Structure 1
Amino acid sequence: MSDSDSLVEYGWKRAIITITAILCALLEIIDTTIVNVALNDMQGNLGATLSELGWVITAYAIANVIIVPMTSWLSQQFGRRNYFAASILIFTISSFLCGNATNIWELVFFRFIQGLGGGALLVTAQTIITETYPPEKRGMAQALYGMGVIVGPTLGPPLGGYFVDNYSWPYIFYINIPVGIAAFLLTLQFVKSPKYSNKKSVKEVDWWGILFLCMAVGSLQYVLEKGQEDNWFESTAIVICSVTAFMGTYLFFWRELTYEHPIVNLRVLRNNNLAIGTIMTFVLGFGLFGSTFIIPLYTQSIMGWTATQAGLLLIPSSLTTGLMMPIIGQLLQRGVPQKYLVALGFLIFFGYSLGSYLILTPSTGEEHFFWLLIIRGVGLGLLFVPITTLSLSTLKGKEIGDGAAFTGMMRQLGGSFGIALITTYISRHNMLHRADLVSHLDPTKPEVQSRLEGLTQMFMGKGSAYNVAHEQALQMLDLSVTKQAVVLSYMDVFLGIGLVFLVCVPFVLLIKKGAGKVKADMAAH
């Protein structure tokens, strides 16, 4: 314990370390979504196709998912402070190079390097914040970190929209540079490393484990990101990557469970709390990134909003989550069992999804979404910290870092899986709903005839001849049917996300009493 206690800081030093770590976590998470609104400008500027542009997002995500499970091991090899500082430096330099890229593949390469630096920031920042606080304050420390993780994905689109509208797309990368330099210098000055006794020689390094991990998560991430765009298993690349992902996963598990010095300690998954928490973290990622993705998509495609407007809509929800975090931290410190908070969070998120399902129409406006998104913010606030503390509550020492890496990776994979599933579902079911609606549009029915006649008269009133007006009326009716089909698809998605959260509730309540009691010195890495 003495080594752990030696990392605790007080007063202004603790405040500086906390701000540095949260800034780094925010930088990493904002960069996963800030690019989305700049893709059109990049396309014109770099002369890239839309599918090539997709790699700007995919390369970053793949690098993230590969590096996160290795973070605990790399921290031990190089010392946590050195590894954290190096990651900030890699992230900052590659941000500058991204802004200066002259063609699409240069940008993709630098985004991959940026992802390798960024992925490490998230888990390492979490561990640094936790160990900087004394045991009785660590629930609150996790709540402060959680604010950055939950608010980050929502800040990306409006920030990106602002820089693209007022400056140019490279500035979404340049904004990282001053923050990165400050964080780098503060890390070298104030962050301390625990003493590690188990560094490995180069011969002992689990190179095969690293290779199999890259094969598994890199291929899986590609399948999830590109599957819908390439029509899934009709694409040779998707088939090859699916087989590679399966083989890589099998070989990775075999290697890590049999090798003496594994790069990722899979044995820690024998801990029941971590196993259950890992699944719940996946569901949380699914809901967090899925809903953050679908709301801007809906408001832009159906309501005709700009990316900045769509991003701004999500801010009240994020602020609500941020305000919830200290309250949740206090409740955990007072001994409220996490499983009840998690179950309540899942139920509230289900309520938000069901409400969204019920209010969606082609004319749904901002005022309809506002309170539902506040409810979403409350639900996410109840989920993030308790799930993390529950996952790590019965782990000890080095296992905490391993567990934190697992939960970080599963949240990212849950988000990728959610977005892939949502895009596939919407595109497939748009056609099904449209076909179903058209089959009910019987031209012999009086109400259909009345609607068509009313539209024809409207166009004739604007100066069109009868036959032209009739054609315009048919086109408008067709457009109305298409829009309604899209709305029905979105309704299905909201309900689907909600049901996934509802199904989790009984499993959370089945967690053994006492298993979720947090030892204060482990409360939420």
Structure 2
Amino acid sequence: MVAIVVAVATFMEVLDTTIANVALRYIAGSLAISIDEASWVVTTYLVANAVALTASSFLAKLLGRKTFFLACLVLFTASSILCGLAWSIQSLLFFRILQGLGGGGMVPVSQSILADSFPPQKRGQAFALFGIAVVVAPVVGPTLGGYISDNYSWHWCFLINGPVGLVSMALVFMLIREPRAATEERRKLREQGFRFDTIGFLLVATFLGALEVILDRGQQDDWFASNFVISFAIASGLAFALMIPWEIRHRNPVVDIRMVFTRQFGSCFVVMLATGAILIATTQVLPQLLQENFGYTAMWAGLVLSPGGLITMIMMIVVGRLSGQVQPKYLIAIGAFVIALAMYNLTNLYGALDFWFFARSRMYIGIGLPLIFIPITTASYEGIPTDKTDQASALINVARNAGGSIGVSLAQNVLAHREQFHQSRLVEHIIPSNAQYQETLQQVINYFIAHGSSPETARGQALAWIGQQVQVQASMLAYVDVFWTLMVISSATVVLAMILRKVKLGDAVAVAH
């Protein structure tokens, strides 16, 4: 029950990272703003989420995990309702920031609660339920958001969190207990005058917040041709340069950077970066491809992801049991290899592909992701002391969030630049001296003449049709390049997985010890 309650709250939080994406046009129309302004609804949430992650470890220790989790849940639920009632873009963005702050604190504490509530031999199954929330929620988001926006109102994309949040609050209050060790640790820290690393928090928050803005807005604002992007890049770079020495030397750092430089946790951190990139990038790119090139509606594009979500749920349960019997490094390597094959399958794009080709590709991804997600979450706690589990949770979730933003940004940049490249190459063949071009042009002119156009009009229509086909083909080839890129990332993850140490399976002693 503890695992289910925590998973439901986490599902609700992660869902909100993608549910608003497909509702942006409706939000823009309703509030009389541009799509560019509406996209800040997504950016502000991601930035606030990243900032909250950095402070979650300290606040969980200071207030207690149960109290902090409840406080985050209350803030998230209340701000979700306020988002649904927003009367202007300014009010919506303010409430989205509050929502991101509440949600950012919930996820790492959820993992800490599960790590402390279950013995190692059961921990894999607990993380399986948690994993369903984290992996399936981004898949459900576009489908649910598209359906709600098409049939009801974008406001309900946020209002649905209200009743779920209220039920979750009641269950968390009744079921979750604070471990005695955590209570004792909190008492000792207060006696010792444990202070918040304010400077470290500001540096980490500036680095992550500015990085999120750069990744989310870079493509739209033309990257370093924009003074806005340059300003945030300078802020992020300076914060990062100052953060490393400060956090390494500080006695109680807000983020223990030294953990990232260890072989086990550092490898887990990088693998989670790659996993987040693949999960979020494919969740965004695939529906985008289907809507732009295959004429799918937002709802049908989201439904393509649904069979993969079902497979993921089943695999989470299977992998939860396997994780107590098979070394995490081998499961991760197999999962990354399966995803690489799925990406390779998607490189075989052409215009006549049907719904089930894309659905099957997503199902392959649904098989691979749980094989990575659960073992990497379990392996990341190997050798971590009990007083560092909150830090480990926060860093792993920073990796997942940052990886998702990096993945989306990388995919959109590859798409934009390679589409220009392919279009320039294809146009090279549309010249009067090319016999195939002349033959095609004449056939298309004859087609339009046969359908009632004059010869002069038919020629203009034929040229416009050929230009449209060049754009479609350039776009398709660019998407192929995106999937090639994601395949390379998946293949690199196979190698990274083999760096991980072997862990004790089914040990009765807590992994954190």
TM-score by shorter chain over 0.5: yes
Aligned partner of 1:9 in structure 2 is none
Q: Counterpart of 2:323 in 1: which secondary structure? A: helix
Tell me the distance in 2 between the aligned counterparts of 1:199 and 1:44: 51
Q: Counterpart of 2:154 in 1: which secondary structure? A: coil
1:159 correspondence with 2:144:
yes
Taking the TM superposition and a 5 Å limit, the aligned residue runs for 1:419-434 are 419-434=408-423
Q: What's the CA shift for 1:521?
A: 5.2
- State TM-score, norm by structure 1: 0.93
8 Å contact from structure 1 (residues 385, 524) kept in 2: no
1:90 correspondence with 2:75:
yes
Aligned partner of 1:8 in structure 2 is none
Aligned partner of 1:111 in structure 2 is 96
8 Å contact from structure 2 (residues 4, 129) kept in 1: no
Instruction: Note closer, same or farther for the CA distance 1:84–1:95 as it changes in structure 2 (3 Å cut).
Output: same
Q: What's the CA shift for 1:519?
A: 4.7
1:503 correspondence with 2:492:
yes
**Amino acid in the other structure paired with 1:479:** Q
Aligned partner of 1:31 in structure 2 is 16
**Amino acid in the other structure paired with 1:227:** G
**Amino acid in the other structure paired with 2:102:** G
Tell me the distance in 2 between the aligned counterparts of 1:203 and 1:519: 33
Residue among 291, 300, 317 paired with 1:309: 300
Q: Counterpart of 2:17 in 1: which secondary structure? A: helix
Structure 1 window deviating more from structure 2 (284-293 vs 362-371): it is 362-371
Structure 1 window deviating more from structure 2 (486-495 vs 448-457): it is 448-457
Tell me the distance in 2 between the aligned counterparts of 1:316 and 1:199: 48
Structure 1 window deviating more from structure 2 (103-112 vs 189-198): it is 189-198
8 Å contact from structure 2 (residues 58, 196) kept in 1: no
Tell me the distance in 2 between the aligned counterparts of 1:516 and 1:439: 60
Q: Counterpart of 2:86 in 1: which secondary structure? A: coil
Q: Counterpart of 1:125 in 2: which secondary structure? A: helix
Aligned partner of 2:247 in structure 1 is 256
8 Å contact from structure 1 (residues 139, 329) kept in 2: yes
Q: What's the CA shift for 1:456?
A: 1.0
Residue among 470, 477, 480 paired with 1:488: 477
Corresponding residue pairs, total: 507
Q: What's the CA shift for 1:500?
A: 1.4
Q: What's the CA shift for 1:524?
A: 9.7
Deviations 1:456-486 (A, max 9, x none): 1111111100110111011001100100000
Q: Which runs of 5+ in 1 are unaligned?
A: 1-14
Tell me the distance in 1 between the aligned counterparts of 2:204 and 2:345: 40
Tell me the distance in 1 between the aligned counterparts of 2:102 and 2:433: 64
Deviations 1:341-366 (A, max 9, x none): 111111111100111002x1133221
8 Å contact from structure 2 (residues 449, 455) kept in 1: yes
**Amino acid in the other structure paired with 1:482:** Q
Aligned partner of 2:58 in structure 1 is 73
8 Å contact from structure 1 (residues 92, 180) kept in 2: yes
Instruction: Note closer, same or farther for the CA distance 1:109–1:387 as it changes in structure 2 (3 Å cut).
Output: same
8 Å contact from structure 1 (residues 138, 522) kept in 2: no
Tell me the distance in 2 between the aligned counterparts of 1:506 and 1:270: 18
Aligned partner of 1:384 in structure 2 is 373
Structure 1 window deviating more from structure 2 (80-89 vs 45-54): it is 45-54
Tell me the distance in 1 between the aligned counterparts of 2:346 and 2:366: 14
**Amino acid in the other structure paired with 2:470:** V
Aligned partner of 2:167 in structure 1 is 182
- State TM-score, norm by structure 2: 0.95
How large is the RMSD of aligned CA atoms in angstroms?
1.8
1:331 correspondence with 2:316:
no
1:318 correspondence with 2:303:
no
Q: Counterpart of 1:443 in 2: which secondary structure? A: coil
Aligned partner of 1:268 in structure 2 is 259
Instruction: Note closer, same or farther for the CA distance 1:68–1:469 as it changes in structure 2 (3 Å cut).
Output: same
**Amino acid in the other structure paired with 2:340:** F
In percent, how many aligned pairs have the same letter? Answer: 32
Q: What's the CA shift for 1:282?
A: 0.2
Tell me the distance in 1 between the aligned counterparts of 2:233 and 2:82: 32
Tell me the distance in 1 between the aligned counterparts of 2:486 and 2:508: 33
Tell me the distance in 2 between the aligned counterparts of 1:355 and 1:524: 40
Instruction: Note closer, same or farther for the CA distance 1:267–1:446 as it changes in structure 2 (3 Å cut).
Output: closer
Q: What's the CA shift for 1:511?
A: 3.4
1:300 correspondence with 2:285:
no
Q: Counterpart of 1:214 in 2: which secondary structure? A: helix
Q: Which runs of 5+ in 2 are unaligned?
A: none
Deviations 1:243-301 (A, max 9, x none): 11011112222221112222122233343210110000000011111111110110011
**Amino acid in the other structure paired with 1:48:** I
Structure 1 window deviating more from structure 2 (423-432 vs 493-502): it is 423-432
Q: What's the CA shift for 1:65?
A: 1.0
Tell me the distance in 2 between the aligned counterparts of 1:409 and 1:519: 28
Structure 1 window deviating more from structure 2 (126-135 vs 379-388): it is 126-135
Q: Counterpart of 2:219 in 1: which secondary structure? A: coil
8 Å contact from structure 1 (residues 392, 524) kept in 2: yes
Deviations 1:38-73 (A, max 9, x none): 111111111112221111000000011111132222
Aligned partner of 1:207 in structure 2 is 198
Q: What's the CA shift for 1:203?
A: 7.9
Q: What's the CA shift for 1:394?
A: 2.1
Residue among 430, 435, 439 paired with 1:450: 439
Q: What's the CA shift for 1:204?
A: 2.2
Tell me the distance in 1 between the aligned counterparts of 2:310 and 2:377: 20
Q: What's the CA shift for 1:202?
A: 7.9
Tell me the distance in 1 between the aligned counterparts of 2:254 and 2:115: 23
Deviations 1:497-517 (A, max 9, x none): 1011112323322434x3576
Residue among 219, 222, 225 paired with 1:228: 219
Structure 1 window deviating more from structure 2 (50-59 vs 256-265): it is 256-265
Q: Counterpart of 1:353 in 2: which secondary structure? A: helix
Tell me the distance in 2 between the aligned counterparts of 1:155 and 1:371: 16
Tell me the distance in 2 between the aligned counterparts of 1:511 and 1:268: 14
